[in-house]
Amino acid sequence: MRLYIKLFYLVLILCTFLWLSCSTKSVYRQYFILDYRPVLQDSSLKVEEPLPYKVQVRTMKIPRTFDRVGIVVRYSTHQLDYYRYQLWAIRPQIIVSDLIARHISNYNVFQSCQREFLEERPDFEIIGVIDAIEKFDNKAYTAAHLAMKLYLRTYDSYENILSHEFDREEEMPVFRMELFAKKLSDILREEVDVFIGEIIAHFHVQNESETMESR
- Print pLDDT tens along the chain (215 aa): 555 555 555 555 665 555 555 544 567 999 999 999 998 888 889 988 999 999 999 999 999 999 999 999 999 999 999 999 999 999 999 999 999 999 999 999 999 999 999 989 999 999 999 999 999 998 889 999 999 999 999 999 999 999 999 999 999 999 999 999 999 999 999 999 999 999 999 998 776 665 556 55
pTM exceeds 0.95: no
Q: Are 59 and 94 in contact (CB under 8 A)?
A: yes
Query: Going from the N-terminus, what domains does the chain have, and what CATH number goes with each?
Result: 30-214 (3.40.50.10610)
Residues contacting 88, CB < 8 A, separation 6+:
31, 32, 33, 69, 70, 71, 95
Collapsing DSSP states into helix, strand and coil, what is residue 197? helix
Q: How many CB atoms lie within 10 A of CB 15?
A: 10
Length of the chain: 215
Task: Say if strands 79-88 and 110-114 run parallel, antiparallel, or are unpaired.
Answer: unpaired
